């Protein structure tokens, strides 16, 4: 059996499987080279930890000529440090520095033998290294863990700033959100000058060409060939997102080995098995959106002149849930769109392919805006509240015209005719239930 190269679900450590991010890696390396502190921001699963590993790996640094031998990279994961004391945090920095120095060609300073874990010990150690011409970068992954720590006050963070000011020391912090927007346990922490020394680098989606190259290069190394139809299906489902590309390509390889050839049924199978694995990740992102974010994500054609809407669109793009296009915004992928269409959103009726905005009195079909009259909008909205259900002509007439109701079947027939004409290629979703009334036929999600 051929080895499936798309097995990664966690950080990628092997150089041969690490793809692209060359620009971001070089940016960070160039900043660290001059002891500039860096904040790496990007949503979960976008590749922050993988990037950090490859920045720190000596063989990667040497292969790409990223950093000089006198530059020391100390890795620390803050995910489990939400309740650590300042001494415990210093201990992580000190022990990490000792371990890194012992693995390198750099001799340990005498100060490294000190057993105390405090600011003074770290200060003396960094001073000795700086005097020798050694630069140190503390790389902290999942910085949110420290941000939420109630034991770390402005004095602690100001102490870190002092180290960066006095010696050849920088900090590289990775987080999902910008440092200024993190929810700190002690809000006065942001008053510390520590947070004024960072250059920001955002990690986002790959470009389309790099995304396809990532898949094709991995396939080539593994000696696997997939038809163009399969490659297109992978891109359609995952979008240019490195993690979701791994998931989609993995299942595509499994299906290609299990089935003879690739056809539309195989594409459907891939869609379903990918969606099953991707769904919890979409659910996590959805759970962390506020009401405005959910509303805008479900209705990307909403008017962008509203400052709250414009801000929400920017956040959604930063979270890699949507991407910019020539005509506005579009979903990360067809699978993301499928997920969103299955959610309940205040003020919206989602009856695929229609999204009926009860606030703005607008309708989109297939993400394209439609022009409907007030009566046409009300008919479609009423049917969309009961997707797939037959609504009697009398019920429709009473609820559309209210006090103006008169028993006139021809008026409703004419209104339905004009509605279908306004729906254009989606007219067939309004169906006539003989002897009953009308229904809105919806697509399977």
d(CA 442, CA 351): 6
Domain residue ranges of the chain, discontinuous segments joined by +: 21-202, 208-286, 289-335, 347-445
Cα-atom radius of gyration of the chain, to the nearest Å? 28
Q: Rounded mean pLDDT of 131-158?
A: 92
110, with CB counted inside 10 A (0-12, 13-18, 19+), is: exposed
Least confidently predicted of 99-108, 270-279, 302-311: 99-108
- Is the domain spanning 21-202 CATH 3.40.50.300? The answer is yes
Q: Report how far apart the first and last C-alpha atoms of the chain are (Å, whole number).
A: 34
d(CA 21, CA 34): 21
What is the model's pLDDT at position 86?
Answer: 95
Q: Which two tokens stand for residue 78?
A: 């803050």
More confident residue, 193 or 443: 193
- Other C-beta atoms lying within 10 Å of the C-beta of residue 415: 19
Sign, CA torsion 398/399/402/405: negative
What is the model's pLDDT at position 79?
Answer: 86
Q: Mention every residue, 6+ apart, whose C-beta is less than 8 A from residue 414.
A: none
- In this structure, are strands 169-175 and 37-41 parallel, antiparallel, or unpaired? parallel
What is the model's pLDDT at position 404?
Answer: 64
Matching CATH number, 347-445, of 3.40.50.1970, 3.20.20.150, 1.10.10.10, 1.10.375.10 = 1.10.10.10
For residues 29 and 199, is the Cβ–Cβ distance under 8 A? Answer: no
Sign, CA torsion 384/385/386/387: positive
Crossing angle for the helix pair 242-258 and 208-222, nearest 10 degrees?
40
What is the model's pLDDT at position 9?
Answer: 78
pLDDT, mean over the chain: 89
**pLDDT of 333 above 70:** yes
What is the model's pLDDT at position 111?
Answer: 61
Crossing angle for the helix pair 264-287 and 334-341, nearest 10 degrees?
60
Q: Rounded mean pLDDT of 312-325?
A: 94
Which tens digit of pLDDT belongs to each residue from 81-134? 989 999 999 999 999 998 888 877 666 666 656 678 889 999 989 998 998 899
**pLDDT of 265 above 90:** yes
Alpha carbon 139 to chain centroid distance?
22
For residues 47 and 203, is the Cβ–Cβ distance under 8 A? Answer: yes
Least confidently predicted of 34-43, 330-339, 399-408: 399-408
Q: Rounded mean pLDDT of 190-204?
A: 90
User: Would you place residue 442 in the very low, low, confident or very high pLDDT band (cuts 50, 70, 90)?
Assistant: confident
Q: Is 410 helix (H, G, I), strand (E, B) or coil?
A: helix
Q: Rounded mean pLDDT of 349-373?
A: 92
User: Would you place residue 313 in the very low, low, confident or very high pLDDT band (cuts 50, 70, 90)?
Assistant: very high
Residue tagged 């209705």 (tokens): 299
**pLDDT of 69 above 90:** no
Residues in the chain: 445
Q: Mention every residue, 6+ apart, whose C-beta is less than 8 A from residue 24.
A: 51, 201, 203
Angstrom CA distances, 79 to 89, 141, 173, 198, 315, stand at 12, 7, 12, 21, 23
Stretch (H or E) spanning 292: helix 291-298
Q: Rounded mean pLDDT of 325-343?
A: 92
Q: Mention every residue, 6+ apart, whose C-beta is less than 8 A from residue 306.
A: none
Least confidently predicted of 10-24, 132-146, 375-389: 10-24
What is the model's pLDDT at position 406?
Answer: 67
């Amino acid at each position: 059996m051929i080895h499936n190269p798309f097995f990664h679900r966690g950080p990628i450590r092997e150089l041969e499987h690490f793809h692209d991010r060359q620009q971001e890696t070089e940016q960070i390396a160039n900043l660290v080279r001059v002891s500039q502190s860096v904040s790496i921001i990007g949503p979960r699963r976008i590749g922050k930890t993988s990037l950090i590993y490859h920045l720190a790996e000596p063989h990667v640094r040497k292969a790409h000529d990223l950093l000089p031998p006198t530059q020391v990279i100390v890795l620390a994961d803050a995910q489990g440090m939400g309740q650590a004391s300042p001494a415990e945090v210093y201990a992580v920095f000190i022990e990490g520095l000792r371990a890194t120095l012992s693995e390198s060609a750099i001799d340990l300073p005498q100060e490294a033998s000190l057993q105390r874990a405090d600011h003074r010990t770290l200060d003396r150690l960094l001073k000795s290294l700086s005097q020798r011409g050694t630069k140190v970068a503390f790389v902290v992954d999942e910085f949110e863990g420290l941000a939420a720590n109630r034991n770390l006050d402005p004095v602690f963070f100001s102490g870190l700033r002092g180290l960066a000011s006095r010696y050849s020391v920088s900090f590289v912090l990775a987080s999902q959100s910008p440092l200024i927007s993190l929810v700190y346990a002690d809000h006065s922490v942001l008053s510390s000058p520590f947070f004024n020394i960072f250059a920001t680098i955002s990690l986002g989606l790959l470009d389309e060409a790099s995304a396809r190259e990532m898949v094709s290069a991995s396939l080539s190394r593994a000696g696997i060939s997939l038809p163009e139809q399969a490659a297109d299906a992978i891109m359609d489902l995952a979008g240019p997102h490195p993690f979701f590309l791994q998931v989609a390509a993995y299942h595509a390889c499994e299906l290609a080995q299990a089935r003879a050839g690739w056809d539309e049924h195989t594409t459907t199978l891939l869609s379903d098995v990918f969606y099953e694995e991707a769904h919890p990740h979409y659910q996590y992102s959805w759970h962390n959106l506020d009401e405005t974010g959910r509303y805008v994500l479900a209705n990307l054609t909403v008017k962008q002149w509203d400052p709250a809407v414009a801000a929400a669109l920017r956040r959604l793009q930063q979270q890699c849930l949507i991407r910019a296009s020539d005509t506005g915004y579009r979903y990360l992928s067809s699978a993301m769109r499928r997920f969103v269409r299955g959610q309940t959103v205040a003020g919206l009726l989602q009856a695929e392919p229609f999204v009926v905005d009860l606030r703005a009195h607008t309708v989109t079909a297939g993400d394209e805006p439609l022009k409907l009259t007030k009566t046409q909008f009300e008919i479609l909205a009423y049917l969309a509240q009961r997707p797939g259900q037959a609504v009697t002509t009398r019920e429709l007439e009473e609820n559309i015209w209210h006090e103006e109701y008169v028993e006139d079947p021809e008026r409703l027939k004419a209104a339905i005719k004009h509605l279908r004409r306004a729906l254009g290629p989606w007219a067939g979703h309004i169906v006539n239930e003989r002897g009953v009334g009308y229904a809105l036929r919806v697509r399977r999600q």
